Amino acid sequence: MPTPAAEHAPGLAPADGIAARARGLTKAYGSGETTVLALDRVDVDIVRGRFTAVMGPSGSGKSTLMHCLAGLDTVSAGQVWLGDTEITGLKDGELTRLRRDRIGFMFQSFNLVPTLNARENITLPLDIAGRRPDEQWLDQVIDTLGLRDRLRHRPAQLSGGQQQRVACARALASRPELIFADEPTGNLDSRSGLEVLGFLREAVDRLDQTVVMVTHDPGAAAHSDLVLFLADGRIVDEMRQPTAESVLERMKRFDVIRAPVDDADRSGRK
């Protein structure tokens, strides 16, 4: 039975423009009576060249969705594709290569290797792969992010905002098919946060990248092209051209509808 969220098919689009796709994506923790469904038969398409935000209350499964799409976590059921590659069922080595070569990551904190300087951090995925960076592209990324005079600095010598910019540059350096950003502004003051969001926006608009950002901050989500709303492991809504106010309004409604949906769902499954 398709979930209500899947029925109205959030973000579904023609296959050639799809950066990542999930069908029937289910992630369960535990077993038997104590099973908790973090993701419940999610269908989603991430469109290439778009800035997608994933929102939802705590425990809604938004981080799990990102981890499963990025090949960091295994799925309980369903299928996930990155471009044309089905990543469900891949072995650890293949997943590692996939993350290295085709995906960029930004985390909330502890994004950088403390022993490496900014430039070394930026090129790390390429260095691990043993690939030479595309210098022209790298220069463009570094200049876009304004890191030119910080390249020799170690992470400890950089501010939080600068560290996130380096992480952003690293995510862009290998020109991946998809960039996942997990609460990239969560640890930053509002000015630095805005800066980082501006760069992600620029990466999509000017550098033609595809970004998926998990956030719980409506202000951050407002920078995206499309917001997907998750609740109880399912995509319950989507919003194009969001503004901070509209997202906040939508979020407020979760507190109201959450409990009934939850109960109905549980009894229905029994």
Partner 1 sequence: MLRATLRSFLAHRGRLLLSALAVVLSVAFVAGSLIFSDTVDRTFDRLFASRSADVTVEPRGDLESSVPSGAVQTLPASLARELARVDGVAAAHADVEVGDITVVDSGNESVGPTTGAPTLARDWHAGERSVVELASGRAPRGDGEAVLDADTADAKGVGIGDTLSVQAQPGSFRVEVVGIAAFTTTNPGAARIFLDPAVAAGRLLGSPDRATSVSLDAAPGVTDAELKRRVTAGLGGGAYEIRTAGEQAETAADELGAFLDVIKYVMLGFAGIAVLVGVFLIVNTFSMLIAQRTRELGLLRALGANRRQVRRSVLTEALLLGLAGSTLGLVAGIGLAVGLIRLMSAFGMRLETAEMVIRWATPVTAYAVGTGVTFVAAFLPARRAAAVSPMAALADAEIAGAGRPLRVRAAAGSVVGALGAAALAGCAAADETSSAASLLGLGVVLTLVATVVAGPLLVRPVIRVLGAGFPALFGAVGLMSRRNALRNPRRTGATAAALMVGLALVTGMSVAGASMSRSFDEQIDRTLGADFVIQNANFKPFPQEVTDRVRDTEGTGLVVRQRFAPVAVRLPDGQRVETTAAGYDDRVDDVARVTYARGGTAAALADGGMAMDAGFAAEHGVRTGSTLPVEFPGGRRTELTVAALTDMAGGDGFGMRGGLFFGIATVEAYVPGGQDSALYVNAAAGTSTAELRDRLESALDAYPQVQVRDQADYKDLVHDQIAVLLYLVYALLGLAIVIAVLGVVNTLALSVVERTREIGLLRAIGLARRQLRRMIRLESVVIAVFGAMLGLGLGLVWGLCTQQVLALEGMTALAVPWSTVAAVVVGSVVVGIVAALLPALRASRMNVLEAIAYE
Nearest to 251 by CA among 25, 54, 50: 54
Query: Considering the rule CB under 8 A, would residue 125 count as an interface residue with partner 1?
Result: yes
How far is 185 from 43, CA to CA, in rounded Å? Answer: 27
Query: Considering the rule CB under 8 A, would residue 3 count as an interface residue with partner 1?
Result: no
Identity of the residue, 105 or 199, whose beta carbon is nearer to partner 1 in the bound complex: 105
Residue among 30, 114, 260, 268 that touches partner 1 (CB under 8 A): 114
Identity of the residue, 68 or 226, whose beta carbon is nearer to partner 1 in the bound complex: 68
Contact region for partner 1 (CB under 8 A) — 1-9, 36-44, 82-90, 122-130?
122-130
Residue type, 203: A
Identity of the residue, 111 or 162, whose beta carbon is nearer to partner 1 in the bound complex: 111
Nearest to 20 by CA among 228, 253, 257: 228
Size of the site for partner 1 (CB under 8 A): 28
How far is 104 from 101, CA to CA, in rounded Å? Answer: 8
Identity of the residue, 127 or 202, whose beta carbon is nearer to partner 1 in the bound complex: 127
Helix intervals (H) in the chain: 4-7, 62-69, 92-102, 118-122, 124-129, 135-144, 160-173, 190-205, 218-221, 244-269
Least Å distance between CB 161 and partner 1? 15
Classify burial at 115, counting beta carbons within 10 Å of its beta carbon; exposed 0-12, middle 13-18, buried 19 or more: exposed
Q: Phi, psi at residue 145, to the nearest 5°?
A: -90, 0
Identity of the residue, 61 or 218, whose beta carbon is nearer to partner 1 in the bound complex: 61
Identity of the residue, 50 or 99, whose beta carbon is nearer to partner 1 in the bound complex: 99
Query: Considering the rule CB under 8 A, would residue 30 count as an interface residue with partner 1?
Result: no
Name the token pair of 85: 């590659």
How far is 182 from 186, CA to CA, in rounded Å? Answer: 9
Residues within window 136-165 making contact with partner 1, judged by CB under 8 A: 156
Query: Considering the rule CB under 8 A, would residue 225 count as an interface residue with partner 1?
Result: no
Instruction: Please give the residue ranges that form the binding site for partner 1 (CB under 8 A).
Output: 67, 72-73, 92-93, 96-97, 99-101, 105, 107, 110-116, 120, 124-125, 127-130, 156, 170
